[in-house]
Amino acid sequence: MFPPELDYVRARSLDEAIGVLASREDAVPIAGGQSLVPLLKLRAVSPGLLVDIRGLKGLGGVDVGGPIRIGALATHGDIEGHAELRARCPVMAEAASKIADVQVRSFGTVGGSLAHADPLADWPPVLMALDAEVHVHGPSGSRAIPMGDFVRGPYTTALERGELVTGIVVRDCPRGAAYLKYAYRHGDFAVVAVAAALRADGGHVSEARLAAIGVADRPLRLGQAEARLAGVPVSEDAFADAAEAAARSVSPPDDHRASSGYRRALLATLVKRALRAAAGR
């Protein structure tokens, strides 16, 4: 399989990249290429021009000084291997290590993953449970989009024409957070996965955030399950109750990978286990 004929330019600055992307209808950015190259080979997309942003300075890196800032060009491997980030926000390293395999993680970026918005991508549920912000920059300047508002549907995001993801910011990463992914084979996309972030005060839940993939056509925040947890004692009963509420709140798709009922049952099990894991940290 060969990509279609196309032109290629290496952007020298963020503004140059945005200028080209905004002015040419057939231009698309390329970061790690780990989602885009397969699409090119399948001829699912045929852009006239690729604007390579991988060399842009200032768009990579991980900074845990104040709020956690992760550049759009940070690879899954960079995130997995960052010792200070692992200490400060272990769930991010945990999630990164569950994406694909080491080769894909060497090049695939967090910004590319968010912009691609595969309904089964692993970053969105994790970043939703962490209440992260997605920072973007475009022809009309910069803005921050709450992760919960960023994915608008399958392969569809809040990005406007010419806008690039520049990074993500996590202001608050509870130690009690976990990401549980169920896939048929090691490194596959999830069938169902659940991210949980939990805080307790005097044995009672003070904050609970849950998000899942594989139970709708996009990542979902599990609001009804979260509501069940508000203020209750941290206990197996509470987790079971939240799991049941989560399962009742979704209508999962029925497809060749898993039936709707199976996805619902998986969701309940993973919610319970994710909460248990989060509470144990």
Partner 1 sequence: MRVGLRVNGTFHEVDVEPRALLVHVLRGLGYRSVRVGCDTATCGACTVLIDGRPAKSCNLLAVQVDGAEIVTAEHADGLLERLRKSFNAHHAAQCGYCTSGMLMAAYALLSRRERPSEDEVREHMAGVLCRCTGYQNIVRAVVEA
Ligand X SMILES: Cc1cc2nc3c(=O)[nH]c(=O)nc-3n(C[C@H](O)[C@H](O)[C@H](O)COP(=O)(O)OP(=O)(O)OC[C@H]3O[C@@H](n4cnc5c(N)ncnc54)[C@H](O)[C@@H]3O)c2cc1C
Contact between 28 and ligand X per CB under 6 A: yes
Q: CB within 8 A of 157, min separation 6: which ones? A: 114, 115, 117, 150, 151
- Binding string, 37-66, against ligand X, x = CB under 6 A? -x----------------------------
Bridge-partner residues for 151, per DSSP? 157
Q: Minimal distance in Å, beta carbon 175 to ligand X?
A: 24
Residues 176 and 184: beta-carbon distance below 8 Å = no
Longest CA span, the chain: 62
Q: Which residue is nearest to ligand X (CB)?
A: 108
Report whether 219 contacts 149 (CB < 8 A): no
Nearest to 21 by CA among 227, 183, 189, 161: 161
Distance from C-alpha of 177 to C-alpha of 50, rounded to nearest angstrom:
37
Q: Is 6 in the site for partner 1 (CB under 8 A)?
A: yes
Nearer to partner 1, 47 or 174 (CB): 47
Q: Is 20 in the site for partner 1 (CB under 8 A)?
A: no
- Which helix or strand (DSSP H or E) is residue 274 part of? helix 260-279
Alpha-carbon gap, residue 95 to 236, rounded angstroms = 24
From residue 97 to residue 116, the character string flagging contacts with ligand X as x (rule: CB under 6 A) and all else as - is --xx---x--xxx-xxx-xx
Footprint of partner 1 on residues 96-125 (CB under 8 A)? Answer: 100-104, 106-107
Q: At what angle do helices 260-279 and 236-249 cross, to 10 degrees?
A: 150
| Among the listed residues 211, 110, 206, the one whose alpha carbon sits nearest the alpha carbon of residue 165 | 110
Contact string (CB under 8 A) for partner 1, positions 50-89, x = contact? x-x-x----------------------x------------
Paired strand residues for 211: 195, 221
Instruction: Work out whether 216 is an interface residue with partner 1 (CB under 8 A).
Output: no
Tell me the window of 1-9, 62-70, 96-104, 144-152 that interacts with ligand X (CB under 6 A).
Answer: 96-104
From residue 137 to residue 176, the character string flagging contacts with ligand X as x (rule: CB under 6 A) and all else as - is ---------------------------xx-----------
Residue of 11, 29, 68, 275 that binds ligand X (CB under 6 A):
29
Return residues touching ligand X (CB under 6 A).
28-36, 38, 72, 99-100, 104, 107-109, 111-113, 115-116, 121-122, 164-165, 189
